Amino acid sequence: MRRAVLTALRQFEIEDVPVPVVGEREVLIKVNTCGICTGELELYGNAEFKNYPIRLGHEVAGEVVAVGPNVTEVSVGDQVAAINERQGFAEFCLTAADRVARIPTGLPVHLAVGEPIACAVNAARRINPDYQDTIVLVGSGFMGLLLQQCLLARSPKRVIAVDTRAEALERAKVYGAHVGLNAAAEDVRQAVLDATGGQGADIVVEATGTQGGLTLATDLVRIRGRLIIYGYHQGGPRQVNVQQWNWKGLDVINAHERDHRVYVAGLKAGLDLAAQGKVCIGQMITHRFPLEQINEAFAFAHERPAGYVKATIDMEAR
């Protein structure tokens, strides 16, 4: 089979390796698609990282082509999504049987980038908004838009999207945000105060993975409100205003999961939501690249030009 390997800074190579042999509790997936994660872009573009080669790809969806003798969760021929894998940029991916979920009928396999859907569902469950809550979501990228849709499915009073890109805010409105605020062009803090009777938001979700997003999110949440860390923070330590956290009496929730059982539960629920049309993914996967163009795909995702939301490595793309 062919597999992509990151061999140096911003440089993948395609290597030929044997198709993996399944173990007793393993599943072999013929990969249809694998999303490019923002977390992988940090490795791709980090000049200080020296631990090459790296085999990446954890947003896998495809067809089961072999199962181990003790596998009962799925069968050969099933369309599945998998979580927590690290070798998905390949023709075949080997994974544990308890880390996959069937893709519901009606959901195209190339849209079933399950791991980010699982992250969004599990975060929404941790947040657990009330119908009276005003939610501010700082960051309207792919992950922010997924979470926004999961939160709206729980019927909060209002969702306010915050971003620095006008096109991202327009997209957030398409996916149901009641208000869009441009942090690069207006006083977001005052706008949120005005929208909430001077109180601040009940729930503020930081979905940027940046210091600026974390600082702004802290400013926007009300006294006794909830601050949700949903963005994936890399590239060094972050600073937080603990005095402000103390004074406001905040509940600070890290909305990341590491237990694969929780991940899979969220994956199954998220795929069902996508199949029902309650979470729409199709228009957010804006660019699809074949495996042979993985260097171009990562460069494109790293640059994030106008119109970009999400890129995938797609075995059917040409």
Q: What is the CATH number of the domain that holds 17?
A: 3.90.180.10
- Determine contact, residues 111/138, Cβ cutoff 8 Å: no
First to last CA, the chain: 18
Q: What tokens does 260 get?
A: 């694969």
Question: How far from 106 is each of 36, 103, 287, 289, 304, CA to CA, in Å?
Answer: 23, 9, 21, 23, 30
Whole-number average pLDDT of the chain: 95
- What does the alpha-carbon distance between residue 84 and residue 34 come to, in Å, rounded to a whole number? 12
86 and 202, same domain (yes or no): no
125 and 250, same domain (yes or no): yes
- What does the alpha-carbon distance between residue 89 and residue 301 come to, in Å, rounded to a whole number? 15
Q: Of the residues 254, 269, 293, which one is the last residue of a structural domain?
A: 254
The residues that bridge with 179 in the sheet, in sequence order, are 160
Answer yes or no: is 228 within a domain: yes
Answer yes or no: is 6 within a domain: yes
- What does the alpha-carbon distance between residue 217 and residue 254 come to, in Å, rounded to a whole number? 13
- What does the alpha-carbon distance between residue 147 and residue 158 come to, in Å, rounded to a whole number? 14
Answer yes or no: is 259 within a domain: no
- Determine contact, residues 95/27, Cβ cutoff 8 Å: yes
Answer yes or no: is 274 within a domain: no
Answer yes or no: is 191 within a domain: yes
Question: What is the domain count for the chain?
Answer: 2
Question: How far from 53 is each of 27, 32, 39, 107, CA to CA, in Å?
Answer: 24, 23, 17, 34
Range of the domain at 106: 2-113+281-314
Reported as a single tens digit per residue, the pLDDT across 61-104 is: 999 999 999 999 999 999 999 986 788 999 999 999 999 999 99
Report the pLDDT value the prediction gives residue 235, as an integer from 0 to 100. Answer: 76
157 and 231, same domain (yes or no): yes
Task: Identify the CATH number of the domain in which residue 165 sits.
Answer: 3.40.50.720
Query: What residue type is 134 in one-letter code?
Result: T
92 and 145, same domain (yes or no): no
pTM across the whole model: 0.95
Question: Is the pLDDT confidence value at 198 over 80?
Answer: yes
Q: What tokens does 38 get?
A: 């923002």
62 and 7, same domain (yes or no): yes
- What does the alpha-carbon distance between residue 280 and residue 273 come to, in Å, rounded to a whole number? 9
150 and 240, same domain (yes or no): yes
Reported as a single tens digit per residue, the pLDDT across 241-284 is: 999 999 999 999 999 988 989 999 999 999 999 999 999 998 99
The residues that bridge with 13 in the sheet, in sequence order, are 5
Question: Is the pLDDT confidence value at 236 over 80?
Answer: no
Query: What residue type is 24 in one-letter code?
Result: E
Q: Of the residues 219, 254, 289, which one is the last residue of a structural domain?
A: 254
